[in-house]
């Protein structure tokens, strides 16, 4: 059984969320009306996973999350509005250690809860399996590990020699990054070590709603030496720049007279997650040789990106999968490893260094 604590100050929302999870056979549910009650239940109930509202009286969700991560680390899924303020609060929650979020039902809550139920249940189940170390928040954990010397696991014949230095990719090219659950702090850990003169543009497909990707890009831009931009219109790709795909759309590579551009385009049947990593990689392969592309697949639920990056690997491109020991959810990178499509399986703190080695 998964022990779930639902924390929300709305009696209606607690009732509706309770009904959603009560209809599933593998949940034991308790409720809290605010952060103070949640902290009490943390000790009494010992939940496996928590859904946590942001705005509550007495102690709000962010203050409560901070205490949870310090006192008894537990996977937390934020229940957040899709407003600009909600996006900023959710990104702060990721910094504090939340592993995922779901949109808060608005308007006629009782009518919309049915639409959100499948996503809510899937994310909470996935979060319950997330690996959190007991003493550190997620981003603190990642930064702590940067100073370590975790091993590189080579998993294919093309990378079988432990002593061989990685061969740089050929000519100018692109780095293509896909991530989902746990992605914002993972992106911070990936991008902040890279220098402002990093030679290749980096394109990122992070599964998020449109109201979240702009604030994410602005936050990363303030933390990184690289210039980080959300793609809302065709943008000419430049070295030293990171391009975040706009949520609720797909990010693709196209070619104009001036050169390669990043574009946000409407979603397309056959790609269930957005922005789609699979679609991003396939679009890039249509304009550059595989030897000019590096794929990086990091923490996330599902298998987005695994098929396209396995194809890229088979055609001579270079691919990196985040190792299970640092991934919040080893779904996406794990699927790439299962498909034998990863040249390297690396803990998150080693990926930036590997990118520097691989780019000429």
Hey, where are the domains in the chain? 2-135, 165-358
**Position 283 pLDDT exceeds 80:** yes
pLDDT tier for residue 167 given thresholds of 50, 70 and 90: low
DSSP 8-state secondary structure symbol assigned to residue 5: E
**Position 158 pLDDT exceeds 50:** no
pLDDT at residue 224, rounded to an integer: 96
Do 21 and 127 touch, CB atoms closer than 8 A?
no
165-358 has the same fold as 2-135: yes
- To the query of whether residue 180 is one of the catalytic residues in this protein, the response is yes
pLDDT at residue 233, rounded to an integer: 96
- pTM, rounded to two decimals: 0.88
* Catalytic, out of 207, 211, 278, 313: 207
**Position 155 pLDDT exceeds 70:** no
**For 180-185, what is the mean pLDDT?**
95
Could you give the 3-state DSSP secondary structure of residue 178?
strand
* Catalytic, out of 80, 180, 283, 290: 180
pLDDT tier for residue 96 given thresholds of 50, 70 and 90: very high
What is the architecture of the domain spanning 2-135?
3-Layer(aba) Sandwich (3.40)
| Gap between the Cα atoms of 359 and 199, Å rounded | 7
pLDDT at residue 103, rounded to an integer: 84
**Position 165 pLDDT exceeds 70:** no
Radius of gyration of the chain (CA): 20
- To the query of whether residue 207 is one of the catalytic residues in this protein, the response is yes
pLDDT at residue 172, rounded to an integer: 87
| Gap between the Cα atoms of 291 and 295, Å rounded | 11
CATH 3.40.50.180 assigned to 165-358: yes
* Catalytic, out of 8, 304, 313, 343: 304
pLDDT at residue 14, rounded to an integer: 93
Average pLDDT, the chain: 89
């Amino acid at each position: 059984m998964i022990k779930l604590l639902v924390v929300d100050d709305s009696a209606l929302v607690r009732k509706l969320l309770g009904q959603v999870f009560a209809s599933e056979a593998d949940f034991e549910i308790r409720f809290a009306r605010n952060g103070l009650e949640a902290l009490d239940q943390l000790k009494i109930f010992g939940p496996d996973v928590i859904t946590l509202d942001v705005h509550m009286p007495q102690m709000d969700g962010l203050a409560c999350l901070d205490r949870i991560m310090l006192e008894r680390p537990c996977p937390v899924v934020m229940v957040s509005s899709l407003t600009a303020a909600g996006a900023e609060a959710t990104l702060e929650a990721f910094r504090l250690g939340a592993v995922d979020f779901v949109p808060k039902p608005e308007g006629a809550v009782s009518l919309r809860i049915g639409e959100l139920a499948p996503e809510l249940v899937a994310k909470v189940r996935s979060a319950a399996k997330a690996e959190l170390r007991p003493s550190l928040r997620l981003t603190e954990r990642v930064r702590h590990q940067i100073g370590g010397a975790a091993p590189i696991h080579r998993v294919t014949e093309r990378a079988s020699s432990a002593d061989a230095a990685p061969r740089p990719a050929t000519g100018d090219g692109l780095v293509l990054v896909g991530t989902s659950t746990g992605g914002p702090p993972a992106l911070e850990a990936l991008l902040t070590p890279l220098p402002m003169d990093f030679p290749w543009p980096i394109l990122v497909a992070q599964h998020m709603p449109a109201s979240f990707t702009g604030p994410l890009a602005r936050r990363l831009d303030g933390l990184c030496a690289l210039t980080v931009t959300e793609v809302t219109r065709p943008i000419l790709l430049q070295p030293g720049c990171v391009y975040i795909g706009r949520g609720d759309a797909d990010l693709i590579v196209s070619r104009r007279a001036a050169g390669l551009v990043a574009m946000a385009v409407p979603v397309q049947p056959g790609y269930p997650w957005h922005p789609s990593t699979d679609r991003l990689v396939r679009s890039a392969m249509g304009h550059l040789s595989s030897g000019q592309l590096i794929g990086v697949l990091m923490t996330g639920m599902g298998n987005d990106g695994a098929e396209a990056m396995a194809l890229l690997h088979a055609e001579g491109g270079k691919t990196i999968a985040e190792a299970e020991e640092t991934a919040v959810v080893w779904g996406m990178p794990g699927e790439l490893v299962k498909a034998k499509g990863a040249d390297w399986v690396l803990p998150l703190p080693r990926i930036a260094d590997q990118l520097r080695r691989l780019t000429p």
